[in-house]
């Protein structure tokens, strides 16, 4: 996995990491985990589920609140991080190291279009006041 400096961020606080194999790993930002507080549960999307950029695909719950997780790109959910099932609180200590699910983009062209709708780390931090 790459570093958050190379991630792309959605306004809804998800990050996307485009890996060398073409898959996109998805997690939540540090800002999001701080706002949530102690994460207690992750309701994962389904493997094989087709998703559109911006669509609600999962949920994450903490002692403070529940929050929807949106797909940062369009594609197919192809993997879930099993660590989240047993240790959802890991998101609080390592938000940029803990991915929630992986998406296989529909196409390279669609991925490029979707990425243009996301922000760099600097743009995201400026938006959230980090």
Task: Provide the terminal-to-terminal Cα distance of the chain, rounded to the nearest Å.
Answer: 23
| Domain range list for the chain | 8-124
- As beta bridge partners, residue 101 has 26, 80
Give mean pLDDT in consecutive 10-residue pieces for the chain, a chain of 130 residues.
81 95 95 94 96 97 93 98 92 94 96 95 89
CB atoms within 10 A of CB 46: 10
Fold exhibited by the domain 8-124: OB fold (Dihydrolipoamide Acetyltransferase, E2P) (2.40.50)
The pTM of this model reads 0.93
pLDDT given at position 85: 85
HEC secondary structure over 56-70:
EEEEEEECCCEEEEE
pLDDT given at position 129: 82
pLDDT given at position 1: 56
Strand-pair category, 39-43 with 56-62: antiparallel
């Amino acid at each position: 996995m790459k570093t958050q400096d190379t991630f792309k961020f959605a306004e809804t606080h998800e990050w996307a990491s485009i890996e060398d194999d073409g898959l996109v790993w998805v997690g939540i930002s540090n800002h999001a985990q701080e706002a949530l507080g102690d994460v207690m549960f992750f309701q994962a999307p389904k493997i094989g589920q087709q998703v559109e950029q911006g669509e609600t695909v999962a949920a994450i719950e903490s002692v403070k609140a529940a929050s929807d997780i949106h797909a940062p790109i369009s594609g197919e959910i192809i993997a879930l991080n099993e660590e989240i099932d047993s240790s959802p609180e890991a998101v609080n200590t390592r938000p940029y190291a803990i991915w929630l699910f992986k998406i296989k983009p529909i196409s390279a062209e669609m991925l490029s279009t979707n990425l243009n709708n996301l922000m760099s780390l600097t743009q995201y931090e400026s938006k959230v006041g980090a």
